[in-house]
Amino acid sequence: MKALAASVVAAASVAGAFAGGAGATNECRGLQVCVPVAGPWVATAAGLETRYALACPKRFIVGGLDAELTRRSLDVAFRGALGSPVNPGVTTSSTAVFVGRLLGGGSPAAFRPHIGCIPASGGGSRFPTVHHVFPPSQPLAPTIAQIPVRPGVHRYVERCGARKTLVGATHAVGLYTQSAPTVAQLRSVSVAQRIAGGSVHVTVRSGALQGAGATVQVDLDCAAAA
């Protein structure tokens, strides 16, 4: 699933607050051993699709998911890998990519992703069942850059690693607030993105955040060498 516009997307954050505010969410329900991880509030505008990747601690995989919404018209899902059975370690990995869409118009809204992380135990394997074809795989090697937001206008350049080719990029704005962010806070950070010369050029503009912390996460789609 690709982002519908360059002004959206996301990227992953091990910096998500562990357990913060997770009492009202269900990412750990039914899991005997579970570490809850909460992300920031991810700004989402009408007509755009926003991706945000949230990561578990080392040696853990995603076993449960949930999200908080500032508006009921937000549609939030996650990207799962192909494979059988549908299970942690097969459908999910150590990172979950949430996809948010604000249905209808109006002011911007936000969702806060939550994941429940369980100890990794290997996961399933996939094998081709017909000769001369390939099983589903991960041809893209995601690269994630996290940019702390500072007042004013700042420009950044992000690139894929060695022997990888940039095929696309998206970004998302995350706000760290104790409660749901206000519309003014959601509008306080704007991002312009363009791709040129195999790099992603990002311009971040920030006004008064009214005490909130903010980050811009850039998700580069990097095609690995065959």
Per-residue confidence in pLDDT tens, the chain, 226 aa: 333 333 333 333 333 433 344 458 999 999 999 999 999 999 998 888 899 999 999 999 999 999 999 988 899 999 888 888 888 888 889 999 999 998 877 888 999 999 999 999 754 434 333 444 555 555 666 688 999 999 999 999 999 988 888 989 999 999 999 899 999 999 999 999 999 999 999 999 998 888 889 999 999 988 876 5
- Predicted pLDDT of residue 130: 41
Count Cα atoms within 13 angstroms, Cβ side, for 107: 11
What percent of the chain is helix, strand and coil (3-state, nearest 5)? 5, 50, 45
The whole-angstrom separation of Cα 139 and Cα 54 is: 20
- State the pLDDT at residue 125: 39
Instruction: Lay out the sheet containing 49-55: strands in order across.
Output: 49-55, 95-102, 74-79
Question: Element (H or E) spanning 183, and its range?
Answer: helix 183-186
Question: Quick count: other Cβ atoms within 10 Å of Cβ 75?
Answer: 14
> In whole angstroms, what is the distance from residue 158 CA to residue 180 CA?
30
Position 66 scores a pLDDT of: 96
Residue with tokens 């992300």: 39
pLDDT at position 186: 92
Q: What are phi and psi of 110, to 5 degrees?
A: -150, 155
pTM of the complete model: 0.77
Reduced to 3 states, what is the DSSP secondary structure of residue 224?
strand
Cis status of the peptide bond prior to 136, with omega within 30 of 0 = no
SS3 17: strand
pLDDT at 209: 83
Residue 2's alpha-carbon distances to 5, 73, 183, in angstroms, are: 9, 21, 26
Residue with tokens 């074809």: 133
